[in-house]
A and B are shown apart, each in its own frame.
Chain A
Amino acid sequence: QIVLTQSPALMSASPGEKVTMTCSASSSVSYMYWYQQKPRSSPKPWIYLTSNLASGVPARFSGSGSGTSYSLTISSMEAEDAATYYCQQWSSNPPTFGGGTKLEIK
């Protein structure tokens, strides 16, 4: 199965700061998906097919990458962006999730 490694596992950012987190795949994947999860809530789809924002996701978010390296970027951190973000692939079965990046506000 394809293993997804997210880095960093924990990060903090100040309001207005640019944030980038990465997801590395053990084998090449066609596309990457990202989910946002806040405490005591279920995950929400955030980015699909690598770079498409899910409904309601602010335009300050973006996704990019190809092959084995993908990233999620926030152009200007806001307090509401504090959450854990998971990457996920389904280029081959089984679908797998990364370990998550917990993003905190400074």
Chain B
Amino acid sequence: EVKLVESGGGLVQPGGSLRLSCATSGFTFTDYYMSWVRQPPGKALEWLGFIRNKANGYTTEYSASVKGRFTISRDNSQSILYLQMNTLRAEDSATYYCARAPEIYYYGSSYYYFDYWGQGTTLTVSS
């Protein structure tokens, strides 16, 4: 059974830092792109970034809104995904989800989407 369990959320002051974790099990972690998505209260989903799989060198991509402040990494020996968040702002307050992105081969091309999501962990940035 595929499981993704986020942890590490909490209350942080503006300008502070926090690291979120996503513990995974039930699949070969290194085979998959992994991503972070957040959702402010009552608002839509926002993709933050992803880290590619072993075959693609574990490289990363970020949204413009967090590039330079957030860093995604992975511990492949323990199948854990991380999100390091620095210089936090009030607008970073949200529920943070990790999500798995399988590669789908379809008519000779590769596509990705989010097929498993964690339950989310909540970050509040406030003084």
Contacts and interface: CB of A to CB of B under 8 A. Distances in A.
B61 A94 contact: yes
Contacts, number: 59
A43 B61 contact: no
A100 B44 contact: yes
B97 interface: yes
Interface stretch (A11-19, A29-37, A56-64, A67-75): A29-37
Contacts of A94: 47, 61, 63-64
B117 A42 contact: yes
Nearest to A41: B119
Nearest to A43: B117
Contact of B44 (A45, A86, A93, A95): A86
Interface of B: 35, 37, 44-47, 50, 61, 63-64, 97, 104, 106, 109, 111-120
16 contacts: A1-B64, A31-B106, A33-B113, A35-B45, A43-B37, A43-B45, A43-B97, A43-B114, A43-B117, A48-B113, A86-B44, A90-B113, A93-B61, A94-B47, A94-B63, A95-B47
